[in-house]
Structure 1
Amino acid sequence: MGSSWKSLSKTCRLSLKDSKHDAANAYAEAAKCYKKVDTNEAASCLERAVNIFCEIGRLNMAARYYKEIAEYYESDQKFEQAIAYFEKAAEFFQNEEVTTSANQCNLKVAQYAAQLEQYEKAIKIYEDIARHSLNNNLLKYGVKGHLLTAGMCHLCKADVVSITNALEKYQDLDPTFTGTRECKFLADLASAIDEEDIAKFTDVVKEFDSMTPLDSWKTTMLLRVKEKLKAKELEEDDLT
């Protein structure tokens, strides 16, 4: 009799879990429908799905749907909300030891943080990913790119000391970075900023872009730096 009750109890628990799983999937399907007309409702449905998946221990599914919520807000250019959900997704992926997906989400956080001029936050993410990628055979080839984007965030702060110190740190972190075009690019840009030479800055950017085309994010960051250089030049002209 005791074993029968145990078996029945186990079956009931499994049925309940299956029911919750079905409910979570139903919310996910509803989100697909809402996505076409109302991003907020779609995100709300997915958040309900995430809560259920967390209850039944399906954390990988929860991570995937947090990422999807972030992408909804990303498509609507609601970057602060996107950042919040990419951060949640990254945390869940990291807890599940899905490092590549965690890195992808964290890179999105850094990208949008920089766009919102949260440079220190972006710098920390790029530097952390670069550091953790050094000893990974699959990820180490992306290190110079992460250090380049971190360096460009330093440039946006218009602080020559900051970028100079960062370059020293990056070369200590990865000695191979010293001989790269990315390192030379950052150093030449820092020199142009230090000399307040807009023409030199423009030439350095054009030369690098001719060999390694700059994407829209990098272009935006560099335009910000150039605008600050122009503003400084105008300020000094007004004083003379």
Structure 2
Amino acid sequence: MSFQPGTILYSPLFPNPVYNNATSTYYLNVTSSSQPDFVANFNYPFAPDIVIQKTSTPASGPVGTTHIVVVTIQNLDNVTVTSLNANDPQTTSNYAQTLQLSPNGAQAIQAAILTPGNSVTLSYTVTTVSSGVYVLSPAIASLLWTAPNGTKITYTISTDPTEITSLAGPITQFTRTFTDFQPYSYLLLIPLLLTPVIETYRLVKRRARRKKEKEMQSFYAAPPPPPQQNLPKAPDTGTGSNPNNPPPS
């Protein structure tokens, strides 16, 4: 009799049931003087032996070396898997200036079925522009396996990170340093460009504030006195109080 994974066998008396790890067998009603009355073998559906690898050939070389990266998915089991989908993001954007990839961008491969002993591959090239140790992103694959009892199980597998070592001499090392820092050198221009803009803005703001202050002062200042008017003198009739010209008697 076969049982599915997760089946619980219960017996209130110890040591029933007894499980033998070596043979994956349960023994029920075992006594020291008699044979077991019941034996059950359990066949658990272990994951199929599907292997995924990501390699670089060569693994190291001088600057300018073209490395061939190959992702291989191989079925080492005696069962068939289906709905295989593999994806390789290649590498992170941090290496955009120092690695040349062809074709560039995430690589993918699909297979409707993968029979025992067969494999699928995808490949691309990586050319180093500067020296250093580059860690490529892991490749990931998902697959579907149908157990003998009809249960469908989806598995996800991935590779270990793959390294590429790029070697260089003193002259190339200087070029590498300049190339690595080139994307960040533009950040040094930001203070040089922002300083005159900020100072111009402050100057315009100060002038506008002073102009406004002058307008407010002139608005609240006391009004100027009215201009004096010069009234015309009355004509002299000769009857004034001038002693040299007394009035007639």
Using CA pairs below 8 Å that are at least 6 residues apart, which structure has the higher relative contact order?
2
> What's the TM-score, normalizing by structure 1?
0.22
Point out the structure with the larger strand share: 2
Structure with more helix by fraction: 1
* TM-score (norm. length: structure 2): 0.22
